[in-house]
Amino acid sequence: MTIQLEGKKIQDQDQFMVPQTNAFGHNFRDYNNAQSERQKGVETFYKTQHINQTYDFVKKMREDYTKLDKAKMSIWECCELLNDVVDDSDPDLDEPQIQHLLQSAEAIRKDYPNEDWLHLTALIHDLGKILVLPKFGGLPQWAVVGDTFPLGCSFDESNIHHKYFKENQDFNNSIYNTKNGIYYDFIGLENVMMSWGHDDYMYMVAKENGTTLPSAGLFIIRYHSFYPLHKNGAYKHLMNDEDEENLKWLHVFNKYDLYSKSKVHVNVEEVKPYYMSLIEKYFPAKLRW
């Protein structure tokens, strides 16, 4: 099958073999196995996230970080900063984030060799996780990682650990707790306030710094953690036609984002020249963060 999108083609690929278990020997995105300390920590993370990610909180974060006044550096410099970041919300991997980025990018590069924008999107999609570092605000992990979801409307039950939303101040707010809330059908996701984290931050950085990545690349960066949408089909009533087209590329990307996680490391110095050439093609030398 071939999907035409913005002059590019999406083809079903047979090369990428989806593994049956993650790096710990469990099913991928298994949030119900409470046998390990890591799984217990993941649930605690989501409880904290669901209670604290409110519409007012996200509005404040966006107002602060849209200033892009935390640093000025290149994309690759940011990649190197991720050596100090481990994602506490991820039940599938506890490796430094730069390895996850390169594993995703290299897997996509193998199956989609002509879509260099997609390779670069994979490399940078999680760079926003630098928000946990002191220089970028030192935000708690619940304000940086984990599945994302809309604010300003009801919390769909497909959200992981949905029960903890009952302690969120927006849960009983009559303005927010209907299906549409403050939105209307087909409003377009760009007009929807998403929970704050690395996705929205990196989207903001890329867009405001004038990236030439196609809209599908920006869509992937902004919504790759929006699992209620791209895994469960929730919130589709808020999407417009452009969202529907870009979602096709996000579905392609998601397979590699989720299933390429491995304890086998990519040789950074070996692949660096290729990704440096893509960075130069699609981004300025220095970006405001």
Q: Count Cα neighbours of 146 within 13 Å in the Cβ-side half-sphere.
A: 29
The annotation status of 126 as a binding-site residue, yes or no, is yes
Tokens of 86: 């481990």
Report the sign of the C-alpha dihedral through residues 31, 36, 38, 42, in that order: positive
- Is 146 known as a binding-site position? yes
User: Does residue 3 contact residue 10 with C-beta atoms inside 8 Å?
Assistant: yes
Q: In a 3-state reduction of DSSP, which class is residue 155? A: coil
Q: Is 56 annotated to bind ligand?
A: no
Q: Is 260 marked within a binding site?
A: no
Residue 74 marked in a binding site:
no
- The answer to whether 189 and 223 are in contact (CB under 8 A) is yes
119 labelled binding-site residue? no
Angle between helix 116-124 and helix 268-282 axes, rounded to 10 deg:
110
Rg (CA), the chain: 18
DSSP result, 159-206: STTGGGGGGSTTTT-TTTSSSSTT--TT--GGGS-BPPSHHHHHHHHH
Residue 139 contacts by C-beta under 8 Å, 6 or more apart in sequence? 131, 132
Report whether 128 belongs to an annotated binding site: no
Q: Which amino acid is at 242?
A: E
125 is in an annotated binding site: yes
User: Does 104 show up as a binding residue in the annotation?
Assistant: no
User: What distance in Å separates the CA atoms of residue 198 and residue 226, rounded to the nearest whole number?
Assistant: 12
Q: Is 156 assigned a ligand-binding role in the annotation?
A: no
Calpha distance 214→218 (Å, rounded): 7
Judging by beta carbons within 10 Å of its beta carbon (0-12, 13-18, 19+), is residue 231 exposed, middle or buried?
middle
198 is in an annotated binding site: yes
Q: 94 a known binding residue?
A: no
* Known binding-site residue numbers for substrate: 29, 87-89, 129, 146-147, 224-225
Residues contributing to the annotated binding site: 29, 87-89, 100, 125-126, 129, 146-147, 198, 224-225, 257
User: What residue numbers does the annotated binding site for Fe cation cover?
Assistant: 100, 125-126, 198, 224, 257
